[in-house]
Chains A and B, each alone.
Chain A
Amino acid sequence: MIQSSAIPGARFVEPKILARIGSLDLLARTVVDGFINGLHRAPYFGASIDFAEHRGYVAGDDIRRVDWRLFARTDRFYVKQYEADTNTNFTVLFDISKSMGFSSGGVSKLEYGSYLAACLAYMAQKQRDRVGIITFDQEIVTHVPASAKHFNVVLHTLDRAKAARPGHLSTPLKLMAEHFKRRGILLLISDFYDEPDDILEAIKPLRFLGNDLIVFHVLDPREIDFEYEDASTFEDLETTDQMPVVPQSFRDQYRSMIQEHINTLQTRFSEQRIDYALLNTDEPLDRALFSYLSSREKLMRVR
């Protein structure tokens, strides 16, 4: 289940309250600034090109990076390594399939995902990353290439996103993998209603270029705890299939199955060195931001 791990001092507002803020920009500023102010150490990793370390020259290294001064002193070839260039691409891969439109009373998964994407895009933009977004369902719906000037376009795209069609991960993700030419940070937001193997199979290509992939598994509380009372006919939002369900009878088995699904995804993503975070639309956004920052920190150094 979801475990809240709010950073001490962080004061986040409930998603339901965030929903009242009409502007995603304002929402992102509110959340991110509040989040950052609560951190004990500065989150800015700087955009310096400072020297990092020397390493031995190997064939194929660019001879322009040989430290000639050191060669003069030691008569050996060393290559100078510098802090990585922090100006990276930050692309949000946002699943807007119909199942993401589900809401059990608070904000829908789509809305929650929008807030999340807006917040992280804002944060990335503040770090002078280039931000872009790709929304998809069973195919790519919108593509906003990563750019330093596309933050507002990203927000606009998020604002217009509508969960209207059934979704499927493999096809659009395959297309995306072919598209990305430059490594960067990919943020995948989805509810992952697919078999874990199929999901992994679809996500793997994204990792080929060395992209840092952060996966946010967004679920509504009802999807996790299945707190329905009355026996009813349940309709699949994507396939529109119907089936009679007695929640009281189904609940325990359903819970164990969804938990098993989550655990499997977590394990499999971990194996693939993919950051995975399960988000409950009832929870504040701090866990998501923290996950992002952890990933960003790891990307600080390029070796």
Chain B
Amino acid sequence: MSFLAPLFFIALGTAVVPILVHLIQRERKHVVHFPSLMFVRRIPYQSVRRRRIRHWFLLLMRIAALALIIAAFARPFFRQSAAAMAAALGGDREIVVLLDTSASMGYGDHFEKAKAAARSAIDSIGGASRATLVLFNKNAEENMRATSDRGRLEAALAAAKVTSGGTKYGSALKLAESILSRSTLPKKEAILISDFQRVGWSSSEDVHFTEGIQLTPISVADDKASNLSVAVSPNFGRSTFSGQERITVNAGIANHGAEALSKIPVTLEIEGRPMETVTASAAPNAASSVSFAPFTLAEPAVRGTVKAGTDPMAADNEFHFVLTPSLSVSVLVIDSGERDSSFFLTSALGIGNTPAFQVEIVPAARVSATTLEKRAAVILNDAPLPPGAAGGVLKRYVERGGGLLVAFGPRSSWPSTEADLLPGVLGPVVDPNDGRGATIAAPDYNHQVFEVFKAARSGDFSAVRVLRYRALQPGKDDRVIARFDDGAAAAVERRIGTGRVIAFTTTLDNTWTEFPTKTVYLPVVQQLVKYLARYEQPNSWNTVGQVVDLSVLLKSRADRVVSTPAGERLRIPSTEPGLLELNEQGVYEIRTGAGSARPDRIAVNLDPAESDLTPLDPAELVAAVTGHAVQTTNQSSSTEPVQLSPEEAEKRQGLWWYLLIAGLFLLAAEMAVSNVLSRNERFL
């Protein structure tokens, strides 16, 4: 209990007044003149020495009454949370405590404050009131269902830990709304305890509390929080030296604070061993980058970590990644055998190393069944169907997952026996628009090949003039992924088995089109090959919350044993889907089968948004959710449980009324008792 005006307790000295009245004020000052005391003198008079207190009970009542009245003036109040206060003032409540466990709550003592606030809210429930504990980051989990058992709630709260997840208030608020709307208790309240990161709330979130549900935000945010985070550029510098691949790691340092940081030590660790430490500086609310010296990458799934500086939020001061030596995509180009007939194609595939394309050009006449083996993709570039690939050989290659790109030209021919391999029915050569040519007018941007051109000004296909093409009538199951401006199909895809076939109705050199001379040529060709080869760039890291399909990642359906960064081991049988949710920051290790010596690894990092601690005004969130403004509680500068301001707490509790009434009641009782006693006694 605290007091708003404790100086009033000085007045407790007046508690001796009743005693003084007893001991000192023995005779009444009021004098009554009477004709004669002749008879009064004869009445036996008990001249009580008033130094002796006869009625302790009366004296104690008087002192207690004085003390109560003085205590009322001192304006007492209990240091309780807003929730506790609400409980004290109202009837049974259904409360949902939404506790933010996102990674940003690991900043300093934010989470301890939040738990203290949650504990205070739980302590406030009494009677038939119930509380539900919901732990949330990007996802909300009903940790403890609605119960009046505070012991269970506090046990669940004690077990709550900061996770590596991001922040999203929408899911938590929706869960709270669904819980509260089902409740039959008269008062419904959601208590949101968080650091209120701005990134966790979007005004487009469709969360609206129904009328009668109260949202009480309790902020543990620190307005002056500064945070340093590190991230590694996904584009590792890869070079080859002495036949081995060398990797250059570039790291970015972000300063989310109002003060400039300098001489930040940034360390690169490979397989747990520090490789190099450099220093960096970062201006307020700005970022800088550092580059480490190249190192040789000899083995697959090498674990690396970049660590930068120290601050209250340690989680985002390190960044994990896993590196694997680059794998080239093997491409077989079958052409007519004429010189430079595949010049543009090979040139386009020869540029770049993500991935590197290993191109082999073979004339159609020399293609055999073995030539197709271990090819990620095959390009039939303005050439007739090779005899060696005929007879179902090429079809089987495709059915097993191979990719085939057929680029038609003047030398192309397609036997009717292999018609089912071609996406559509091949027609005659067309000179569009009376020889003026056509342009690729309608690429399917939803297709993976053209998806990279989806953004504005990402690829100017209108500049690609096509003077001649082969008419192709797509089948009903075929997908036209690009058309000329005259409506004819420019590229058609057909899926056969697990493989893919794309027919490009004009040449990939400059025989029928100016396409090879345009800027979009190279990315289109590389996208086509990567698509057909099913190439996916291996992620060097993932973000917390992502789900990976281990069966795709590891291309194996054996039993898998996953070691989480926390050291937990999960066994995923081959019979189950290999979906793994990446909930922890760090490096997951996956082993398949008994003979797997070197594990596969998945690096997981925090959502970069978590490093931005810029707080949201809780009132804004409350207004958006409930439609009412609310006074928020900020606990940023206190380590104690969440409290109202003393004035506010005292005003809400109004204990002084009760004390004053009790004091006055005691005085009245004292008066009645003393009257009864004085009637029976003849002394003053």
Contacts and interface: CB of A to CB of B under 8 A. Distances in A.
B676 to A, nearest CB: 11
Contacts of A241: 37
A249 interface: yes
Interface in A242-285: 242-246, 248-250, 253-254, 257-258, 261
Contacts of B37: 234, 236, 239, 241, 243
Contact of A102 (B27, B33, B45): B33
B31 interface: yes
B241 interface: no
Contacts of B30: 230, 232-233
B34 A234 contact: yes
10 contacts: A99-B35, A102-B33, A231-B28, A231-B678, A232-B31, A242-B31, A243-B37, A246-B682, A246-B683, A249-B679
A45 interface: no
Interface string B626-651: 00000000000000000000000000
B41 interface: yes
A99 B39 CA distance: 14
A266 B344 CA distance: 155
Contacts of B45: 243-244
Contacts of A236: 34-37
Given A232-B28, A244-B28, A250 B40 contact: yes
Interface of B: 27-43, 45, 678-679, 681-684
Contact of B27 (A228, A239, A244): A244
B43 A102 contact: no
A33 interface: no
- Of the listed residues B29, B38, B42, B681, the one surrounded by the most CB atoms of chain A closer than 10 A to its CB is B38
Interface in A201-254: 220, 223, 228, 230-239, 241-246, 248-250, 253-254
A234 B32 contact: yes
Given A232-B28, A232-B30, A236-B34, 5 more contacts: A193-B36, A223-B34, A228-B32, A231-B684, A254-B43
Nearest to A194: B38
A214 to B, nearest CB: 22
Contacts of A220: 35
A261 B32 CA distance: 22
A238 B41 CA distance: 14
A254 B30 CA distance: 20
B32 A233 contact: yes
A286 B464 CA distance: 144
Nearest to B36: A193
Contacts of B29: 233
Contact of A246 (B31, B41, B684): B684
A41 B34 CA distance: 43
| Size range of the chain A interface in the assembly | 20 to 34
B32 A232 contact: yes
Given A246-B683, A246-B684, A191 B43 contact: no
A254 B679 CA distance: 15
Contacts of B39: 254, 257-258, 261
Given A237-B33, A248-B678, A250-B43, A193 B38 contact: yes
Closest 4 CB pairs of A and B: A249-B682, A99-B35, A193-B36, A102-B35
Contacts of A250: 40, 43, 682
A234 B33 CA distance: 6
- The A contact surface, by secondary structure, is mixed
Contacts of A242: 31
Contacts of B34: 102, 223, 234-237
Interface of A: 99-100, 102, 109, 191, 193, 220, 223, 228, 230-239, 241-246, 248-250, 253-254, 257-258, 261
A146 B41 CA distance: 40
A237 to B, nearest CB: 5
Given A230-B28, A230-B30, A257-B42, A246 B678 contact: yes
Best-buried of B27, B39, B45 by chain A (most CB within 10 Å): B39
A111 to B, nearest CB: 14
A244 B684 contact: yes
Nearest to B34: A234
A248 B684 CA distance: 11
B35 to A, nearest CB: 4
Most-contacted residue by chain B among A230, A234, A235, A258 (CB, 10 A)? A234
A246 B45 CA distance: 10
Given A243-B45, A244-B28, A234 B40 contact: yes
B31 to A, nearest CB: 5
A163 B483 CA distance: 138
Contact of A249 (B27, B31, B38, B681): B681
A237 B679 contact: no
A245 B35 contact: no
Contacts of A238: 35-36
Contacts of B36: 99, 191, 193, 236-238
Contacts of A248: 678-679
A100 B28 CA distance: 25
B42 A235 contact: no
Contacts of A235: 31-34
Contacts of A243: 37, 40-41, 45
A209 B679 CA distance: 53
Contacts of A234: 31-34, 37, 40
A245 B679 CA distance: 13
A191 B679 CA distance: 30
Contacts of B31: 232-235, 242
Contacts of B32: 228, 232-235, 245
A241 B32 CA distance: 11
Contacts of B27: 233, 244
B25 to A, nearest CB: 11
A166 to B, nearest CB: 10
B114 to A, nearest CB: 65
A99 B682 CA distance: 26
Given A232-B30, A246-B682, A249-B682, A191 B35 contact: yes
Taking each of B34, B38, B39, which has the highest tally of chain A beta carbons within 10 Å of its own beta carbon?
B34
A104 B223 CA distance: 79
Give the residue among B36, B678, B684 with the most A Cβ atoms within 10 A. Answer: B36
Nearest to A249: B682
Contacts of A249: 678-679, 681-683
A234 B37 CA distance: 8
A65 B679 CA distance: 73
Contacts of B683: 246, 249
Contacts of A191: 35-36
Contact of B35 (A223, A231, A233, A253): A223
Most A CB within 10 A of own CB, among B29, B35, B37, B42? B35
Contacts of B43: 250, 253-254, 257
A236 B38 CA distance: 8
